[in-house]
């Protein structure tokens, strides 16, 4: 007698009450699992939206607070448009101030609020030492004219501007500017103009441009070597991260909290600094047009006075980085 041989797995379960119960149990377990996954997914989405909502509310609250503080430091909204509206926390004893920049346009792009604030002081003389003529795109002559035009808008007298055109200091981020060459130019200006305050870039040079950073290291080296006048002070412009850099006046609270030396300008001066930057026609590519709208350097500058111990530490860090 032939019997059909079938594998146990392929044979359908006999429809007994016990098997029916097992099948129902399996179906119920798989349903529960998918339900749990769905619930977890839903909760994750809900929590993400909640977190996002909280972040948006916090940012909105912070932005409104910045706006209120900005209006309050100028006392009222109408004052913001006043030509003399500035909020400055910078020593009154600084009377002959030298800004050291690397390229024509640095003065407007980065130092505008400090320059505008100090030129308003009747007993303060502002000088510019620009260490290259910005000849990177073979536009040296044009950029030279643009520097004078921009400084006129910033109310710096033409005779207070010095532009260095030296082959050893080219406008080129790939060329290392020798500290001795920079130091020679700085010392020449400091001593001939009887400068009591130097303002320049910090270690990161705002944009990490090698020429900006080179000025900082050269400045601190002459400071440490005690080659400046007795009492000559050195200030550097704070570099901030990219979020703060493009947060316009909404960097106000952080700036005022983290620094104790600052220059904040009103809206009229903000427009004037933008105009000075626009005088650098050759540099007004699309991203710089965005920069002059959103950059906090158009409305806020925070500075740090360099002490001898800071300068020595910076030089040690620099020599360690070079040796590694």
Instruction: Tell me which residues touch Zn ion (CB under 5 A).
Output: 102-103, 106
In order of 150, 157, 162, 281, the CA distances from 105 in angstroms are 8, 16, 14, 10
Q: Given the complex with Zn ion, which of 106 and 146 has the nearer CB atom?
A: 106
Strand-pair category, 96-101 with 233-237 = unpaired
Q: Shortest Cβ distance from residue 291 to Zn ion (Å)?
A: 12
Residues 6 or more apart whose Cβ sits within 8 Å of residue 85: 74, 79, 265, 266, 267, 268, 269
Q: Given the complex with Zn ion, which of 102 and 264 has the nearer CB atom?
A: 102
Q: Given the complex with Zn ion, which of 86 and 218 has the nearer CB atom?
A: 218
Q: Shortest Cβ distance from residue 225 to Zn ion (Å)?
A: 25
Strand-pair category, 233-237 with 86-89 = unpaired
User: What residue is closest to Zn ion based on CB?
Assistant: 103
Q: Shortest Cβ distance from residue 113 to Zn ion (Å)?
A: 17
Q: Shortest Cβ distance from residue 217 to Zn ion (Å)?
A: 15
Q: Given the complex with Zn ion, which of 71 and 210 has the nearer CB atom?
A: 210
Alpha-carbon span 215 to 19, nearest angstrom: 85
Contacts 24+ apart (CB under 8 A), 188-194: 189/98, 189/127, 189/129, 189/162, 190/98, 190/228, 190/229, 190/232, 191/229, 193/96, 193/98, 193/127, 194/96, 194/229
- Say if CB 210 and CB 176 are below 8 A apart: yes
Strand-pair category, 300-305 with 86-89 = unpaired
Phi, psi of 225 (to 5 degrees): -75, 0
Q: Shortest Cβ distance from residue 48 to Zn ion (Å)?
A: 42
Q: Given the complex with Zn ion, which of 186 and 232 has the nearer CB atom?
A: 186
Q: Shortest Cβ distance from residue 152 to Zn ion (Å)?
A: 20
Q: Given the complex with Zn ion, which of 105 and 196 has the nearer CB atom?
A: 105
Two structure tokens written together for 74: 């100028």
Q: Shortest Cβ distance from residue 207 to Zn ion (Å)?
A: 7
Q: Given the complex with Zn ion, which of 80 and 182 has the nearer CB atom?
A: 182
């Amino acid at each position: 007698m032939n019997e059909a041989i079938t594998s146990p797995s392929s044979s359908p379960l006999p429809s007994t009450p016990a098997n029916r119960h097992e099948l129902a149990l399996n179906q119920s377990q798989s349903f529960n699992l998918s339900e749990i996954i769905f619930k977890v997914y839903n909760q994750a989405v809900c929590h993400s939206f909640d977190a996002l909502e909280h972040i948006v509310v916090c940012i909105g609250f912070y932005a409104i607070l910045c706006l209120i503080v900005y209006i309050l430091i100028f006392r009222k909204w109408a004052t913001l448009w006043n030509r003399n509206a500035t909020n400055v926390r910078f020593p009154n004893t600084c009377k002959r101030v030298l800004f050291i920049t690397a390229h024509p346009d640095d003065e407007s792009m980065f130092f505008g609020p400090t320059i505008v604030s100090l030129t308003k002081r009747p007993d303060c003389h502002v000088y510019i030492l620009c260490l290259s003529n910005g000849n990177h795109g073979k536009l040296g002559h044009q950029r030279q004219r643009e520097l004078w035009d921009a400084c006129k808008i910033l109310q710096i007298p033409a005779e207070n501007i010095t532009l260095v055109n030296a082959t050893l200091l080219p406008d080129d981020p790939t060329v290392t500017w020798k500290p001795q060459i920079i130091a020679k130019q700085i010392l020449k200006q400091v001593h001939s103009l009887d400068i009591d305050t130097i303002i320049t870039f910090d270690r990161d040079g705002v944009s990490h441009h090698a020429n900006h950073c080179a000025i900082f290291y050269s400045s601190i080296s002459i400071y440490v070597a005690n080659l400046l006048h007795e009492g000559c002070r050195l200030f550097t412009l704070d570099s901030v991260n990219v979020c703060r850099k493009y947060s316009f006046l909404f960097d106000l609270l952080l700036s005022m909290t983290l620094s104790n030396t600052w220059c904040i300008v009103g809206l009229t001066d903000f427009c004037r600094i933008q105009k000075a930057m626009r005088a650098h026609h050759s540099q007004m590519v699309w991203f710089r047009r965005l920069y002059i709208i959103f950059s906090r350097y158009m409305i806020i500058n925070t500075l740090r006075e360099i002490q001898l111990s800071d300068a020595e530490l910076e030089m040690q860090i620099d020599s360690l980085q070079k040796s590694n």
